Structure 1
Amino acid sequence: MSVKPRFIMCICTGQCPGFKSLDLWELINTVRREMDVEYALVHPQLCVDDGDRFLKDYIKNDGLYIIGACDPKMQRKMMKEAFEAA
């Protein structure tokens, strides 16, 4: 049996200009319908301390994760430590 990915959407507290016109609930429901994910969840801001703690607590080695967030280059740097700790 293949492992389905788990989708985590960071909404940057809604302040990121790229998210101003985003219909978050439509996005989450589209992901759930069309990407064959285990589930989809929303976090308010993964790039701050509580977001970092959330990722370290939540991510397990046996899972596959897809994270939607703002600038991928910035997020890759910020989330790298959390993924390495998992």
Structure 2
Amino acid sequence: MSIIAASIVDAVSVYAQVSDPTPEAPPLADKIMEFVRYATWLAILSGTVSIVFAGGKFAWEKWSGGAMQSPKMVAGAMIGGVVATSAGTIMNTVLTI
């Protein structure tokens, strides 16, 4: 019986050490954050360019009397922008469940 009790005490002490680790940055964390900043910058730039392009195309279609396809482009760019800017919030919500 004492062997079982000793095993339980050992398991509890190991669990107590594992359950409260000290946080530490992973290796290359600064490079990963630099990449994330560049990706964020690229997403914002591409969203801005797509909205400007779609607005110009909308004006051209309105002026020339062509088929109106650009409102879908503007809506798609805006929805993409909302998803891109809220990606951090979405990932925090998904990962904390």
Normalising by the smaller structure, the TM-score range is under 0.3
Report 1 or 2 for greater relative contact order, CA contacts < 8 Å, sequence distance ≥ 6: 1
Q: TM-score, normalising length from structure 2? A: 0.25
Structure possessing the higher radius of gyration over alpha carbons: 2
Higher fraction of strand: 1
- TM-score, normalised relative to structure 1: 0.27
